[in-house]
C-alpha cells in the first residue's frame, strides 16, 4: 500500500510510520519539516504547509492518507478536498473530546458531538478543542463521502508522548519515596498505548474501513491502583503509596489531570462517564491491547533517553508533592 501521512513525525505519527514500514508499505510524509526533521531519512518527504501551501500533493496518487495533524475544519477540508482524487481512503485522527459531554457512562459512537457558536473560530482552548475536532470530522466526510475513517482516541500513552500525562506515573514510581496517589485505588482509568493504536489504524486503512470508532482501552476495566502497582512492579522498588482524599486535594488547590495525571474527581457529574467510554466497536474491528507492564516498561525506557533537565508538562513537582503530603499527614483528625 502506498500511504501518505499528513504529519508523521510527532507522537502518534512516529508509531504509525514505524508500523506501516514494518508491514511493508511505502510511506510518504507531508509536513513542514520542522518537528523531528531527522526522523525517517529513508522516506519520501513532501514539504508544505497545511495552512496554505498544499501544492506538493498535486499530481500524485496514494492508496490511503492518514491525517494526524488536523485541528481546524477549514484546514482539514482543504487537504481532504485536494486529496479527493488522489487517495482511495482517508483516516482522520479525531479525539474523544469531540463528544458534547462525558456525563453518561459507557458512551458509544452514537453520543452527540460538541458544537461551537462560531464554527469559524481557530483558537484551541479547553472549550474549543473537542468541537473543532468534531467539525474536522465533518469536513473530511464532506470532501470524501463514504471513504473516511474517523478515529476518536482517548488518552494516548507510551514512548514519544510529549504531554507527560501518563509518563509521570512510571517515572514517579521509579524515583521512589512516598508517592501521593489521588482519590481511591478503585478509581477507573482509560488510555491506549500509541503502538496499539497505530497498528490498528494501519490495519483499518489496509481494508478501507470507514465510519467513526472510539479507540481507548484497555478491553477490561482498569483502576488507578492497578496502574500504580504495575508501575511499582516494573520499576522494581517498594515506593509506598499514600492515597489522599480527593476533596482534600481539591481544597488544597491540586489540579486534576495536570498536577495529578489520570485523576478526574469522581464527584464531578460532568465527567461521570469520562473513564468508561465504550470501545466495543473498535475492539470488534480488531483493536487489541498489549499488557500494561509492556506499556509501562517501554515508557520508562524511552523517558530515560530524554535530555537532562527536561521540563515536565504534567505531574506534581517534588516540592509540591511534599507540601501536599505534609498537609495530609498533619491535618486535624
Residues 172 and 144 in one domain: no
In-domain check, residue 210: no
Residues 40 and 65 in one domain: yes
Tell me what the pLDDT averaged over the chain comes to.
97
Q: Report the CATH number at residue 236.
A: 3.90.25.10
Q: Is the pLDDT of residue 309 over 90?
A: no
Query: Which residue range is the domain that position 138 belongs to?
Result: 2-153
Size (the chain), residues: 333
In-domain check, residue 198: no
In-domain check, residue 163: no
Residues 233 and 109 in one domain: no
What's the gap between Cα 229 and its chain centre? 23
Q: How far is residue 227 from each of residues 16, 190, 313, measured CA to CA in Å?
A: 25, 10, 20
Last residue of a domain, one of 130, 153, 176: 153
The mean per-residue pLDDT over the stretch 125-139 comes to 97
In-domain check, residue 285: no
Residues 97 and 140 in one domain: yes
In-domain check, residue 24: yes
Q: Distance between CA 69 and CA 89 in Å, rounded?
A: 17
Residues 229 and 185 in one domain: yes
> Tell me, what's the pLDDT at 235?
95
Q: Distance between CA 77 and CA 137 in Å, rounded?
A: 9
Task: Mark residue 236 as left, alpha or beta (left: phi above 0; alpha: psi -120 to 50; beta: remaining).
Answer: left
The mean per-residue pLDDT over the stretch 280-293 comes to 98
Q: What kind and span of H or E run contains 283?
A: helix 280-284
pLDDT over 90 percentage in the chain? 95
In-domain check, residue 284: no
Q: Is the pLDDT of residue 155 over 90?
A: yes
> Tell me, what's the pLDDT at 308?
84
The mean per-residue pLDDT over the stretch 48-76 comes to 96
For 171-229, the pLDDT digits (tens) are 999 999 999 999 999 999 999 999 999 999 999 999 999 999 999 999 999 999 999 99
Q: Distance between CA 227 and CA 291 in Å, rounded?
A: 11
> Tell me, what's the pLDDT at 267?
85
Residues 81 and 14 in one domain: yes
The mean per-residue pLDDT over the stretch 51-76 comes to 96
For 68-102, the pLDDT digits (tens) are 999 999 999 999 999 999 999 999 999 999 999 99
Residues 144 and 184 in one domain: no
> Tell me, what's the pLDDT at 177?
97
* Closest among 33, 35, 15 to 23, alpha carbons compared: 15
Handedness of CA 197, 103, 266, 123 (dihedral sign): positive
Q: Distance between CA 312 and CA 140 in Å, rounded?
A: 34
The mean per-residue pLDDT over the stretch 231-251 comes to 96
Q: Are strands 44-47 and 26-31 parallel, antiparallel or unpaired?
A: parallel
Output the nine-digit C-alpha cell for 144: 470524501
Structural contact between residues 274 and 256, judged by C-beta atoms closer than 8 angstroms: no
Q: Distance between CA 181 and CA 199 in Å, rounded?
A: 32
In-domain check, residue 177: yes
The mean per-residue pLDDT over the stretch 61-69 comes to 97
For 246-281, the pLDDT digits (tens) are 999 999 999 999 999 999 999 889 999 999 999 999
Residues 177 and 115 in one domain: no
Q: What kind and span of H or E run contains 320?
A: helix 318-329
DSSP assignment string, 24-49? T-EEEEEE-S-SSTTS-TTSEEEE-B
Q: Report the CATH number at residue 68.
A: 3.40.50.720
DSSP 240: P
Q: Residue 154 phi/psi, 5° resolution?
A: -85, -150
Residues 176 and 325 in one domain: yes
Last residue of a domain, one of 95, 128, 153: 153
In-domain check, residue 159: no
Domains contained in the chain, number: 2
Structural contact between residues 46 and 15, judged by C-beta atoms closer than 8 angstroms: no
Q: Is the pLDDT of residue 18 over 90?
A: yes
Amino acid at each position: 500500500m502506498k500511504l501518505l501521512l499528513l504529519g508523521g513525525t510527532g507522537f502518534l505519527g512516529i508509531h504509525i510510520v514505524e508500523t506501516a514500514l514494518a508491514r511493508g508499505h511505502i510511506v510518504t510524509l507531508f509536513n513542514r519539516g520542522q518537528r523531528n526533521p531527522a526522523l525517517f531519512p529513508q522516506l519520501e518527504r513532501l514539504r508544505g504547509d497545511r495552512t496554505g501551501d498544499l501544492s506538493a500533493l498535486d499530481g500524485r496518487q496514494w492508496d490511503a492518507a492518514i491525517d494526524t495533524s488536523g485541528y481546524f475544519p477549514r484546514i482539514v477540508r482543504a487537504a481532504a478536498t485536494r486529496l479527493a482524487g488522489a487517495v482511495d481512503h482517508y483516516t482522520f485522527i479525531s479525539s474523544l473530546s469531540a463528544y458534547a459531554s462525558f456525563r453518561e457512562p459507557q458512551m458509544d459512537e452514537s453520543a452527540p458531538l460538541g458544537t461551537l457558536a462560531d464554527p469559524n473560530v481557530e483558537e484551541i482552548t479547553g472549550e474549543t478543542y473537542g468541537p473543532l475536532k468534531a467539525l474536522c470530522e465533518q469536513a473530511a466526510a464532506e470532501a470524501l463521502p463514504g471513504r473516511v475513517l474517523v478515529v476518536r482516541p482517548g488518552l494516548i500513552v507510551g514512548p514519544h508522548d510529549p504531554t507527560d500525562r501518563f509518563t509521570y506515573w512510571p517515572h514517579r514510581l521509579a524515583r521512589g519515596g512516598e508517592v501521593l496517589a489521588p482519590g481511591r485505588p478503585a478509581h477507573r482509568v482509560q488510555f491506549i498505548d500509541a503502538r496499539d493504536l497505530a497498528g490498528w489504524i494501519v490495519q483499518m486503512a489496509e481494508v478501507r474501513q470507514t465510519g467513526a470508532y472510539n479507540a481507548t482501552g484497555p478491553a477490561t476495566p482498569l483502576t488507578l491502583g492497578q496502574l500504580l502497582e504495575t508501575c511499582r512492579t516494573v520499576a522494581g522498588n517498594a515506593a509506598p503509596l499514600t492515597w489522599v482524599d480527593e476533596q482534600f486535594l481539591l481544597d488544597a488547590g491540586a489540579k486534576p489531570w495536570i498536577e495529578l495525571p489520570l485523576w478526574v474527581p469522581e464527584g464531578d457529574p460532568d465527567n461521570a462517564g469520562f473513564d468508561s467510554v465504550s470501545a466495543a466497536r473498535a475492539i470488534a474491528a480488531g483493536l487489541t491491547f498489549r499488557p500494561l507492564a509492556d506499556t509501562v516498561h517501554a515508557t520508562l525506557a524511552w523517558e530515560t533517553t530524554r535530555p537532562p533537565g527536561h521540563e515536565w508538562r504534567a505531574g506534581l513537582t517534588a516540592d509540591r508533592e511534599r507540601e501536599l503530603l505534609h498537609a495530609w499527614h498533619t491535618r486535624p483528625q
